[in-house]
């Protein structure tokens, strides 16, 4: 088990290192110098605050500092939690801007991922057993999973928001309320959350259902299942083993899909103007706020790595072979 975790941590560490390096390197490779022009604009607005930003800029991007020192400074700032100052929302630090948006994205992602995975697996397993269910679940799931995230969002927004007017079309909460722990806010936030959540949930659900259905069918055709049946073991036991074994690749698949799911959440937020990281990125792009874009990028990477690690831990719990020190793969 130790080697299992060591490997994973090394991979994640390496990935983070690569990601930070990419983040630092890209602006320097791009033609022109967008940052300098932005800074020029900012200093005209508020010279006092601009000093902090210029200082950050000089240390990490500045022409006077040698390249390797720029790189080191970038890391130092990063480890201090300083991702620079937002240009668009000047003078708010990037980290603060991100923190304001983060809860909304998490509120979408975490329920959507867990619920769609669990529900998809359950329904997929059921569909593998009952032909009748299978005939409806399969085509619907294929349709759902072939749907681009944003389009399902658009559809739902149009049908429920625009045509039927049952649910709000955009925003994280109504204009009349402001973020606070009041009933009015929570109530409003929930209704605004429902459609984007539903959009993410449905697409994910389709994919997991198909995957699980196929996995269960595969497990039910395996030799160990046949042997169990030859021994007259109960169908319950057969199904339990099949489900348990089918979950493993589904879990691995979840880790593989994280990047995709996060991307899906981001675009869904854009459709609904939902104030999470996705919407933030869109606005950052439109406003050419490069520090914000970079900061958000690093945040997303970190989040994905953490989530991957969490799944790895769950995998160790679910696959007993990893605890016994073996590679968790099919014998």
Partner 1 sequence: MALAVDDLKVYYRTLQGDVRALDGISFGVGDGEIVGLAGESGCGKSTLGKSLVRLDGRMRYVEGHVTLDGEELPVWNTNDMNRFRFKSISLVPQYAMSALNPTRRIGRMIEEVLESKGVSFEGLSPEIERRLELVGLSAEVLGMFPIELSGGMKQRTVLVLSTLLNPSLLVADEITSALDVSTQKAVARALVDFRRRGFVNSMLVITHDLAILHEISDSIVVMYAGRLAEKAPAETLVHSPRHPYTQLLISSLPMMGARFSERRLTGIPGRPPSLLDPPAGCRFRDRCPVAFAKCAEQPPVVEVDSGHQVACWKAA
Partner 2 sequence: MAVTDPEYPASVLVPEATAGPVLPGGGPARPAAPRRSGRREALHFAFRNKKLLIGLGTVCFFLLLAIAGPYLTSYSPTATVGPPHAHPSSSFWFGTTTFGQDVFSQFVHGLRATFIVGLLGGSLAALIGMVVGFTAGYRGGIVDEVLTMLTNVVLVIPTLAVLLIVAAYLTVRGVFIEALFIGLTSWPWAARAVRAQTFSLTSREFVDVARLSGIPDRSIILREIAPNMSSYLFMTFILLFGGAVLIAATLDFIGLGPTNGMSLGLMMNNAVLWAALQLGMWWWFLPPGLGIMAIVGGLYVMNVGLDEVFNPKLRDT
| Residues of this chain, 64-83, that bind partner 2 according to CB under 8 A | none
**By the rule CB under 8 A, 134 interacts with partner 1:** no
Binding to partner 1 (CB under 8 A) within 56-95 occurs at none
**By the rule CB under 8 A, 143 interacts with partner 2:** yes
Q: Output the smallest distance, CB 327 to partner 1, in A.
A: 9
Binder of residue 183, out of partner 2, partner 1, none (CB less than 5 to 8 A by kind) = none
Site size for partner 1, by CB under 8 A?
25
Out of 105, 116, 188, 322, the residue judged to bind partner 2 by CB under 8 A: 116
Distance CA 8, CA 81 (A): 24
Distance CA 275, CA 3 (A): 41
Say how many residues make up the chain. 331
Binding to partner 2 (CB under 8 A) within 280-309 occurs at 281-282, 285-286, 290, 293-294, 297, 300-301, 304-305, 308
**By the rule CB under 8 A, 241 interacts with partner 1:** yes
Q: Output the smallest distance, CB 220 to partner 1, in A.
A: 10
Out of 37, 46, 158, 306, the residue judged to bind partner 2 by CB under 8 A: 158
Helices 290-318 and 235-272: angle between axes, nearest 10 degrees: 170
**What residues contact residue 271 under an 8 Å CB cut-off, 6+ apart?**
150, 153, 154, 157, 196, 199
Total H helices, total E strands in the chain = 13, 0
Distances (CA, A) of 76 to 35, 71, 84: 20, 9, 12
Task: Tell me the backbone φ, ψ of residue 217, rounded to 5 degrees.
Answer: -60, -45
Residues at the contact surface with partner 1, assessed by CB under 8 A: 222-224, 226-234, 236-237, 241, 244-245, 248, 319-321, 324, 326, 330-331
């Amino acid at each position: 088990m130790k080697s299992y975790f060591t490997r994973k941590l090394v991979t994640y560490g390496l990935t983070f290192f690569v990601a930070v390096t990419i983040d630092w390197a890209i602006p320097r490779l791009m033609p022109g110098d967008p940052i300098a022009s932005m800074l020029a604009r900012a200093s005209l607005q508020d010279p006092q605050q601009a000093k902090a930003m210029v200082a950050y800029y000089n240390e990490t991007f500045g022409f006077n500092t040698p390249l390797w020192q720029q790189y080191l400074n970038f890391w130092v700032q990063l480890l201090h939690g300083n991702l620079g100052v937002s240009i668009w929302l000047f003078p708010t630090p990037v980290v603060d801007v991100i923190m304001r948006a983060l809860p909304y994205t998490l509120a979408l992602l975490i329920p959507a991922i867990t619920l769609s995975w669990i529900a998809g697996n359950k329904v997929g397993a059921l569909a593998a057993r009952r032909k009748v269910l299978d005939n409806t679940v399969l085509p619907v799931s294929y349709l759902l999973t072939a749907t681009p995230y944003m389009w399902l969002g658009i559809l739902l927004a149009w049908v429920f928001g625009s045509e039927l007017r049952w649910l709000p079309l955009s925003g994280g909460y109504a204009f009349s309320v402001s973020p606070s722990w009041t009933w009015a806010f929570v109530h409003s936030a929930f209704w605004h959350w429902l459609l984007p959540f539903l959009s993410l949930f449905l697409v994910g659900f389709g994919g997991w259902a198909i995957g699980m259905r196929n996995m269960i069918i595969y497990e039910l055709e395996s030799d160990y299942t046949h042997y169990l049946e030859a021994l007259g073991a109960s169908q319950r036991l057969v199904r339990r083993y099949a489900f348990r074994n089918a979950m493993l690749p589904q879990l691995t698949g979840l880790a593989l899909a994280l990047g995709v799911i996060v991307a899906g959440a981001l675009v869904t937020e854009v459709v609904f103007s939902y104030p999470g990281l996705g919407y933030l990125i869109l606005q950052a792009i439109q406003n050419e706020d490069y520090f914000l874009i970079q900061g958000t990028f690093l945040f997303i990477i970190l989040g994905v790595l953490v989530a991957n690690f969490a799944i790895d831990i769950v995998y160790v719990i679910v696959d007993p072979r990893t605890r016994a020190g073996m590679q968790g793969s099919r014998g």
